[in-house]
Structure 1
Amino acid sequence: MSKFDNRKVMPRYSVIAIVMTLAAVAVIGKTIYTMTAGKAYWMEVAASQKKDSVTVKPTRGNILSCDGQLMASSLPEFKVYMDFNALKNAGNDTAFIDSINYISKGLNDIFPEKPAAYFKQHLMEGYHKESKHWAIWNKRIDYNTFKEIQSLPIFHLKKYQSGFHYDEFNARRRPFGSLAQRTVGDMFGAKDTARCGLELSYDSILRGTNGIIHRRKVRNKFLDITDTPPIDGADIVTTIDVSMQDLAERALIDELNEINGNVGVAIVMEVATGDVKAIVNMDKCSDGKYREVKNHAVSDLLEPGSVFKTASIMTVLDDGLVDTMYTVQTGGGVWNMYGRDMKDHNWTRGGYGTLTLPWTLKYSSNVGVSRIIDLHYHKNPEKFVQGIYDLGLATDLHIPIVGYSPAKIRMPHKNRRGQYDNWSATALPWMSIGYETQIPPISTLTFYNAIANGGKMMRPRFVKQVVKNGEVIYDNPPQVIKERIAKESTIKDITRILTEVVSEGLGRKAGSDKFQVAGKTGTAQMSKGALGYKSGNINYLLSFAGFFPADNPRYSCIVCIQKTGLPASGGGMSGVVFHHIAEGIMAQNLKLSVTDACDSSSILIPSAKTGNLLATDYVLTALGFNVTNGWSGAYPFGNPVWGTTRKSGKSLTFQKEEAFKDNLVPNVHGMGARDAVYLMEKRGIRVSLTGRGRVIGQSLSPGDRIKKGMKCTLVLG
């Protein structure tokens, strides 16, 4: 008899089968529900566990000076927030309440402008509102400040435990402040988009290419998986020389303050290459301060005035219609030309009488220049204007700065009846002295630079190279616009005349007793459009354009100043700025041998200040001194190595010191001003200096903890 009892087993089997069937039906029902009614919810859950096609921004490239100094660079900045909802879900809300006093005191130490009570009230307000994005501080902060906040109680925990989170930005910073601001350019910080200058012109090169990542949650952690890595932007090396830029800016601002000018422009160009070494644009703002607001140097289309007379005389010389012995009658300083009086600046004193051609430029005689041109081109003004075109003044220079406008010099045009439809009898005389034309300062300087360069016109160059990871990926060599703007004899004659303008004529204040200067003054009334030239107060454009040293030109320069009312003198005002710029540049280029300072019996072992040993080693090596444990001057621009220099007999030895901690006041005793200020301001301490020499005292004690807003007075002696 079988032991299998069908009556007992079958009911049990039926129950199991029914249960399994019901479970299967439930699973299928749940699946159908999930795929239909619950689809939106579960898609939202899935989306919270991943994120596809997240854009990763690359690091923007740097803008460098001609010698590799940073003029614009990208630095990380942060805005910090609290997610109090996440804090409570993680169960750390009690710990937050217990630590609120410590957190508030820590924030007060970091941001001393607000008391601890403010931070406590502010954070508790966000806590009670259960805000998910409560700003801890309403401004962007730098990396060091961010790390200080992140180290505070609760904030140091992971994001989903503390609720502490942040937004990171690529902030654009200029180490030299406003120096060459409109040329280097600006960024719209919030949008991270270029606004003007080289930042905008070379945006595609500097910006780089965005990367793509996707995020997945694995074991309760979000992992970033790179699909396409970002490609950082390349660096551009400009032609700007920081020291020349600073020199030109200070010289221009000093004169603008002295004469109460409205606008000032100064440009320095290297003769052989056309490299723009300095470009300054200053506007007087409502608070009386001068700032760079607009790039007048490349965008201002103004009547240039008497600096244009050089081109007029060159044209008539080059056409062979006159020579340097040619004479012209200027009368008593007033000459009626087709119903309008042409006046010289000294007409009230009787004028200049008879002048030779060179003296019309030396005295900047309006009557003399306009009569010479009118006598030889009145019946054929097209030939004169074509001569101006041939000199390159109307050439489109293709300046890589947004806002640039090429010069506008109109060509006479005849209608079908042979009559001029855009010309009058007075157009030629007034054009010859710098009116009836619109020329930006950069075009005028390019013309004078061509004279200095023996007639070869160079295109103004602002960017020399594009560099990526230390390698040159694009080289922008100097470009020749015109091989020769005039005959060799014309260039020699005009160079001699321009030299005499400075040595004997109205441009004396632009000259120097150390080297020869060649150039031309300009003083022009500025048109007010439909209101003409003389409505209300008269505005003047004061200019001086030239080059130096005249016998072997290295640099050309133009200075333009706009001011209201008299006195107004191109030579006496713009010429003074030119003088300071020229002498400053030549002094910077003056190099003397250390051996000239001692005789054959001298034993000279120099003393060196405490500070950056790399810079010290570079200088000592350049002077011919060897340091036993130095670098042979090979790394002058590396990261600083701090220490002292010791003398032992006839040898020098470096003694390195431990690196200063970023959160402590450094000891700068014995250092020069440059290293001391660098170390202090790198840590956010504002510095004021008194005296000269080495640091012999500092108002903050070395080793004190640094607080935001600290100030330190350094005494030098």
Structure 2
Amino acid sequence: MSKFNNNKIIPRYSVIAIVMSLIALAVLGKTIYTMTAKRSYWMEVASLQKKDSVKVKPTRGNILSCDGQLMASSLPEFKVYMDFNALKEAGNDTAFVDSIAYISKGLNNIFPEKSASEFKKHLMEGFHKMSKHWPIWDERIDYNTFKEIQSLPIFHLSKFKSGFHWDEFNARRRPFGSLAQRTVGDMFGAKDTARCGLELSYDSILRGTDGIIHRRKVRNKFLNITDTPPIDGADIVTTIDVSMQDLAERALIDELKEVNGNVGVAIVMEVATGDVKAIVNMDKCEDGEYREVKNHAVSDLLEPGSVFKTASIMTILDDGLVDTTYTVETGGGVWNMYGRDMKDHNWRRGGYGTLTLPWTLKYSSNVGVSRIIDLHYHKNPEKFVEGIYRLGLATDFHIPIAGYSPAKIRMPHKNSHGQYDNWNATALPWMSIGYETQVPPISTLTFYNAIANGGKMMKPRFVKQIIKNGEVVYNNPPQVIKEHIAKESTIKEITRILTEVVSEGLGKKAGSDKFLVAGKTGTAQMSKGALGYKAGGTNYLLSFAGFFPADKPRYSCIVCIQKTGLPASGGGMSGVVFHHIAEGIMAQDLKLNVQDARDKESILIPSAKTGNLLATDYVLNMLGFNVINGWGGAYPFGNPIWGTINQDGNKLIFKEEKINRVNLVPDVKGMGARDAVYLLEKHGIKTIVVGRGRVIEQSIAPNDKVQKGMKCTLRLG
């Protein structure tokens, strides 16, 4: 007999089963209710606890000069805010109100443009509104400024206790300012997208790949969980030489100011490789200052004028139709060609009379060159244009800069009746002297560079390598476009003629007494489209293209200046810029050992300027002087260490001094121009230097508050 009483147990199990079934039905009903009626509410709650597929921006790659100096780099910038709701929930709202005077004063020290009372009023407005995202400062700030704000009362607490929070941005900065700005390129800051130059052309390489994270709230804290890590962008190494770029820019701007030019272009190219070492594009802005606005060097399709005559003479020499002894009659400087007068620049003074072929280039005779070409190609202009094409002037170089356009040189074309439909009798003579064609400065320079390179035409190169994590992932070697643009004899003859253009002809101002220069001047009226050449004030394109040293060419260079009205001279204006660039580059290439400056007979201790002690220490040690508290000359290129130098007998004693805060004007008295300008501009102060030597006076007193747009004049003596 079973010890269990079924009559008692079964009813109990039935009750339990019914209760469990009811609970299950209740759970199921609640689940359905949650999934339907309360779905939107719980989805909103869930969104507060997690966030899926959040993109993480990678760090954009750097753009480097040919020797590894930063020309464009990504640096963090911040926009700072207050969450007053979080501040109140953390119980720190009273402390904030008590500290508001200190906070406002601290913000005023960091941002002198706004008074402490204005900061206090602004912050209290957000406090009363209990804003969750109240801007402390409307503009982006750099990392150092961000850390200064973060050190203020209340703000130094965690974001959950203080309400102080921020948005971080990858800001693009150019340590060398506007140098090669249009070539290096710009970014649309707010959109973080490239807008021009190498930044745009190599955007996919520089940008990298976005990462993906999701966020989860764990124990009242949000954690970022990485799904796919971001891949940072690669660095690109350009061919730009910063010192040459700076030299070319200063030389061009000085001349533009002197002649009141509208636009200026200067390009320096390395002969053997085609590397673009410097490229300057200057426009005169409404305020009278010159800035880089457009990359004229690669995009301006203009009639090149007399620099094109070199190609015309090369074509006829290469075709063997004449030699350098050929003579041509230019008359009194005016020659009627098919009903239209061709004039030389000295036609009012009686012209040049009879000229040999080389002298047509030396004197840049329009009549001489056009008559030589017309006499030999008039019945077959296609042959002349084919010769120009053979020289590479019409080649598309596929330059990786937005706005680039290859040269446009018209090829004669006959219709079905054997008549020219895009050509007339005057086209050939005017094309031969640089009209009827459109050639950007980069194409003209590449042609002259090929002459300097013995006839080998190199593709203009702007980027040498792509580097990722310190390793070269792509090499872009020099590329030969044409092995020979002309016969070797033609190259030798034209090189000799171009050298004589500078030594004996109109290009004398481009020359140097230290080395040989070869090149050609150009002065052309600029067409105004349908209005022609003479509507209103006449605009001129003044050019000089050439290479140096002419006997062993290392660099080629072209300088173009656009200006309105006379005087206008390619040799006298653009040639002067070429001269300064060439002599500056050759001077920089003189690598002298500082130890050669030692004077063993001297017992004098040299005077040393206040400023960067590391650089001074290096020079003094190389000269053999005893330096106390120095570094043995081991760190000439480290981060600057500022201080003063005192003399004690035959010893020099270094004393380090900390530079005052970034919001106060530094004391630069006693420093050289280089250190003084570096220090002031690092504080955001624009500098004007007058005189030479060391700083004896600065127009803004030391320890004054730095204000936006400040300018300080330094007097040296």
Normalized against structure 1, the TM-score is what? Answer: 0.90
Matches within 5 A, 1:218-617: 218-592=218-592, 601=601, 609=609, 611-612=611-612, 614-616=614-616
* 8 A contact 2:358–2:497 mirrored in 1: yes
* 8 A contact 1:111–1:708 mirrored in 2: no
TM superposition shift of 1:464: 1.3
1:426-465 superposed Cα distances (whole Å, 9 cap, x missing partner): 1111111111111000000111111111111111111111
Where does residue 213 of structure 2 map in the other structure? 213
Q: Measure the CA separation in 2 of the matches of 1:531 and 1:391.
A: 32
1:589-643 superposed Cα distances (whole Å, 9 cap, x missing partner): 2344557656765578766555545545655677789999988877654444566
Give the match's secondary structure for 1:393.
coil
* 8 A contact 1:626–1:632 mirrored in 2: no
Sequence identity (%): 86
Where does residue 4 of structure 1 map in the other structure? none
User: Paired residues, what number?
Assistant: 713
Give the match's secondary structure for 1:341.
strand
TM superposition shift of 1:359: 0.7
Unaligned runs of 5+ in 2: 1-8
Q: Measure the CA separation in 2 of the matches of 1:341 and 1:689.
A: 51
* 8 A contact 2:212–2:229 mirrored in 1: yes
| CA gap 1:610/1:498 in 2 versus in 1, 3 angstroms | same
TM superposition shift of 1:163: 2.3
Q: Measure the CA separation in 2 of the matches of 1:286 and 1:690.
A: 26
* 8 A contact 2:518–2:548 mirrored in 1: yes
Give the match's secondary structure for 1:264.
strand
Give the match's secondary structure for 1:44.
helix
Q: Measure the CA separation in 1 of the matches of 2:50 and 2:581.
A: 61
Where does residue 85 of structure 1 map in the other structure? 85
TM superposition shift of 1:655: 7.8
Give the match's secondary structure for 1:177.
coil
Q: Measure the CA separation in 2 of the matches of 1:85 and 1:470.
A: 46
For 2:179, give the aligned amino acid. L
Where does residue 60 of structure 1 map in the other structure? 60
1:284-341 superposed Cα distances (whole Å, 9 cap, x missing partner): 1122221111101000111111110000001111111111111001111111111211
| CA gap 1:169/1:381 in 2 versus in 1, 3 angstroms | same
Give the match's secondary structure for 1:514.
coil
Q: Measure the CA separation in 2 of the matches of 1:631 and 1:474.
A: 39
Greater CA drift, 491-500 or 191-200: 491-500
For 2:143, give the aligned amino acid. Y
For 2:403, give the aligned amino acid. G
Give the match's secondary structure for 2:408.
coil
Q: Measure the CA separation in 2 of the matches of 1:295 and 1:707.
A: 33
For 2:173, give the aligned amino acid. R
| CA gap 1:107/1:19 in 2 versus in 1, 3 angstroms | farther
Where does residue 165 of structure 2 map in the other structure? 165
Q: Measure the CA separation in 1 of the matches of 2:598 and 2:157.
A: 65
Q: Measure the CA separation in 1 of the matches of 2:254 and 2:387.
A: 38
TM superposition shift of 1:210: 1.0
State the superposition RMSD in angstroms.
3.6
* 8 A contact 2:598–2:623 mirrored in 1: no
Give the match's secondary structure for 1:81.
strand
Where does residue 5 of structure 1 map in the other structure? none
* 8 A contact 2:598–2:624 mirrored in 1: no
| CA gap 1:712/1:268 in 2 versus in 1, 3 angstroms | closer
TM superposition shift of 1:34: 2.2
Q: Measure the CA separation in 1 of the matches of 2:685 and 2:524.
A: 48
Q: Measure the CA separation in 2 of the matches of 1:598 and 1:34.
A: 89
Where does residue 152 of structure 1 map in the other structure? 152
| CA gap 1:593/1:644 in 2 versus in 1, 3 angstroms | same
Give the match's secondary structure for 2:85.
helix
TM superposition shift of 1:651: 9.9
1:47-98 superposed Cα distances (whole Å, 9 cap, x missing partner): 2111111111111111111222211111111111222233333333333333
Unaligned runs of 5+ in 1: 1-8
| CA gap 1:36/1:183 in 2 versus in 1, 3 angstroms | same
Q: Measure the CA separation in 1 of the matches of 2:86 and 2:60.
A: 34
TM superposition shift of 1:663: 7.8
Q: Measure the CA separation in 2 of the matches of 1:483 and 1:622.
A: 47
Q: Measure the CA separation in 2 of the matches of 1:408 and 1:626.
A: 65
For 1:73, give the aligned amino acid. S
* 8 A contact 1:110–1:708 mirrored in 2: no
Normalized against structure 2, the TM-score is what? Answer: 0.90
Q: Measure the CA separation in 1 of the matches of 2:561 and 2:602.
A: 51
Where does residue 71 of structure 1 map in the other structure? 71
Give the match's secondary structure for 1:536.
coil
Give the match's secondary structure for 1:447.
helix
| CA gap 1:631/1:412 in 2 versus in 1, 3 angstroms | farther
* 8 A contact 1:109–1:708 mirrored in 2: no
Matched, 1:113 2:113: yes
1:481-518 superposed Cα distances (whole Å, 9 cap, x missing partner): 11111111111111111111111111111112222211
TM superposition shift of 1:666: 6.9
Q: Measure the CA separation in 1 of the matches of 2:291 and 2:96.
A: 47
For 1:77, give the aligned amino acid. E
TM superposition shift of 1:19: 8.6
1:626-678 superposed Cα distances (whole Å, 9 cap, x missing partner): 99998887765444456678999999998877898778887767654434544
TM superposition shift of 1:544: 0.8
* 8 A contact 2:700–2:712 mirrored in 1: yes
Where does residue 4 of structure 2 map in the other structure? none
Q: Measure the CA separation in 2 of the matches of 1:140 and 1:661.
A: 19
Q: Measure the CA separation in 2 of the matches of 1:349 and 1:675.
A: 54
Give the match's secondary structure for 1:411.
coil
Q: Measure the CA separation in 1 of the matches of 2:103 and 2:643.
A: 37
Q: Measure the CA separation in 2 of the matches of 1:355 and 1:161.
A: 89
* 8 A contact 1:305–1:435 mirrored in 2: yes
Q: Measure the CA separation in 2 of the matches of 1:536 and 1:664.
A: 52
Give the match's secondary structure for 2:420.
coil
For 1:557, give the aligned amino acid. C
TM superposition shift of 1:276: 0.9
Matches within 5 A, 1:9-88: 27-88=27-88
TM superposition shift of 1:128: 2.6
Give the match's secondary structure for 2:484.
coil
Greater CA drift, 688-697 or 588-597: 688-697
1:546-583 superposed Cα distances (whole Å, 9 cap, x missing partner): 11121221111111111112221111111111112112
| CA gap 1:664/1:490 in 2 versus in 1, 3 angstroms | same
* 8 A contact 2:112–2:705 mirrored in 1: no
TM superposition shift of 1:416: 2.0
